[in-house]
């Protein structure tokens, strides 16, 4: 789906949102990688480089997320058990909560749903004194071997601190998808909330003609899920934490170290909260095995996060969370090229989970 806004449209949006800020001239717009776990069919995220004038080099940047979600999407204020991505109104509400209770470097975005300047709803973060050329996603930095072992450990310590703050500090009274209003029927059981969402995803995937060729083991998964429910395997979560869920190294941006003696720092977190929900911290993609690293775990527990896996049944629960992630990834790419890397990963991961769940402990 092409929803690329023009430089002229983005310039109008910047000028309206940040009137009086000197660095508000749009120099360039770059679409960021669309193949992260946080990807949705209807959203695109861009980094906008900004300068003080047309003749000046870029010195600042903003993140722009544009949504072309169809109007027929379920209303998040009344739909609590059918899984769907969050709307941009939810993004801004959650980011406000995160900023109140943590030091995670989210920027407070401006939300515009008027369609007057850009023909789609969008959120725009304030100009930040760094340009796109000085930033790199953590996933890219690691793939390119730009980080030393010490650098990697330091970044993982930072991630662990952020996740610990998030899960211990941003709490809710009920489980499930975030809403802009209070739910009509709040769920106080994570098992009920999670399994309802999982069952809707299984149904959507099984019903999709475009996924028939995958021949996925839906019946096996449903049978193993019934067993897990009977053993109350998801019922050990007492307090709903805000879980980023699909947040990953693709959404974390660091400064590019110019030499091995410099320490990279986490500069920005993409405002990709399409799949965030109130639930079990173990659901985070940062905990997808073989992660997390020892450094991340140490910092996580030091900043309020609880031990992630203590009993064998929690390893089984993590398998279900991996299957849940794979279903979300697959359904968001139902129209993608059959050879799309994440689409292939999701199909393989669902089969792998089904095999592992066959004899996985529920005690």
- The model's pLDDT over 127-178, given as tens digits with 9 standing for 90+, comes to 999 999 999 999 999 999 989 999 999 999 999 999 999 999 999 999 999 9
Detail the DSSP E strand segments found in the chain.
Answer: 25-31, 43-51, 60-67, 110-112, 122-124, 135-137, 241-243, 252-255, 266-269, 277-279
CA atoms of 64 and 111, how far apart (whole Å): 10
**Which positions ≥6 away from 22 have C-beta within 8 Å?**
52
Digitized pLDDT (tens) for each residue of the chain, 363 residues in all: 568 899 999 999 999 999 889 999 999 999 997 789 999 999 999 999 999 999 999 999 999 999 987 544 445 454 567 899 999 999 999 999 999 999 898 888 999 999 999 999 999 999 999 999 999 999 999 999 989 999 999 999 999 999 999 999 999 999 999 998 989 899 999 999 999 999 999 999 999 999 998 999 999 999 999 999 999 999 999 999 999 999 999 999 998 766 667 778 888 999 899 999 999 999 999 999 999 999 999 999 999 999 999 999 999 999 999 999 999 999 999 999 989 999 999 999 999 999 999 999 998
Cis peptide before 292 (omega within 30 of 0): yes
Cα–Cα–Cα angle for 212, 82, 345, nearest 5°?
40
CB-count exposure of residue 343 (10 Å: 0-12, 13-18, 19+): buried
CB 362 within 8 A of CB 233: yes
CB 67 within 8 A of CB 89: no
**Which positions ≥6 away from 7 have C-beta within 8 Å?**
26, 28, 29
- The pair of three-digit structure tokens given for residue 43, joined into one six-digit string: 């959203």
**Which positions ≥6 away from 8 have C-beta within 8 Å?**
none
**Which positions ≥6 away from 352 have C-beta within 8 Å?**
none
Strand partners, 242: 278
Write the DSSP string, 287-350. Answer: GSTTPPPHHHHHHHHHTTPPPS--SHHHHHHHHHHHHHHHHHHHHHTTTS-TT-HHHHHHHHHH
- The pair of three-digit structure tokens given for residue 44, joined into one six-digit string: 């695109």
CB 138 within 8 A of CB 252: yes
CA atoms of 341 and 38, how far apart (whole Å): 14
Closest CA to 157 of 36, 308, 266: 266
């Amino acid at each position: 789906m092409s929803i690329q806004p023009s430089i002229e449209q983005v310039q109008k949006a910047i000028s309206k949102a940040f009137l009086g800020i000197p660095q508000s001239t749009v120099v360039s717009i770059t679409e960021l990688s669309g193949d992260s776990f946080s990807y949705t069919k209807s959203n695109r995220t861009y980094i906008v480089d900004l300068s003080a004038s047309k003749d000046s080099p870029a010195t600042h940047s903003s993140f722009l997320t544009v949504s072309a979600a169809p109007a027929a999407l379920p209303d998040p204020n009344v739909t609590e058990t059918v899984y769907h991505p969050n709307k941009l109104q939810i993004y801004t509400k959650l980011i406000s909560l995160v900023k109140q209770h943590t030091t995670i470097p989210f920027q407070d975005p401006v939300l515009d749903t008027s369609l007057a300047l850009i023909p789609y709803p969008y959120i725009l973060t304030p100009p930040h004194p760094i340009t796109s050329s000085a930033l790199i996603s953590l996933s890219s930095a690691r793939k390119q071997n730009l980080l030393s072992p010490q650098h990697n450990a330091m970044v993982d310590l930072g991630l662990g601190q952020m996740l610990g703050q998030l899960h211990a500090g941003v709490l809710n009274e009920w489980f499930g998808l975030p809403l802009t209003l209070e739910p009509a029927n709040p769920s106080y059981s994570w098992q009920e909330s999670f399994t309802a969402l999982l069952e809707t995803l299984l149904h959507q995937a099984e019903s999709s003609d475009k996924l028939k060729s995958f021949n996925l083991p839906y019946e096996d998964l449903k049978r193993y899920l019934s067993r897990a429910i009977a053993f109350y395997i998801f019922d050990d979560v007492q307090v709903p934490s805000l879980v980023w869920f699909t947040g990953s190294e693709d959404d974390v941006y660091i400064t590019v170290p110019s030499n091995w003696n410099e320490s990279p720092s986490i500069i920005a977190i993409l405002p990709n909260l399409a799949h965030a929900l109130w639930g079990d911290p173990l659901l985070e993609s940062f905990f997808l095995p073989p992660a997390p690293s020892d450094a991340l775990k140490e910092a996580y527990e030091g900043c309020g996060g609880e031990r992630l896996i203590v009993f064998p049944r929690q390893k089984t629960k993590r398998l279900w969370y991996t299957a849940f992630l794979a279903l979300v990834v697959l359904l968001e790419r139902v129209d993608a090229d059959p050879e799309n890397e994440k689409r292939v990963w999701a199909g393989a991961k669902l089969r792998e989970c089904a095999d592992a769940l066959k004899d996985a402990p529920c005690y």
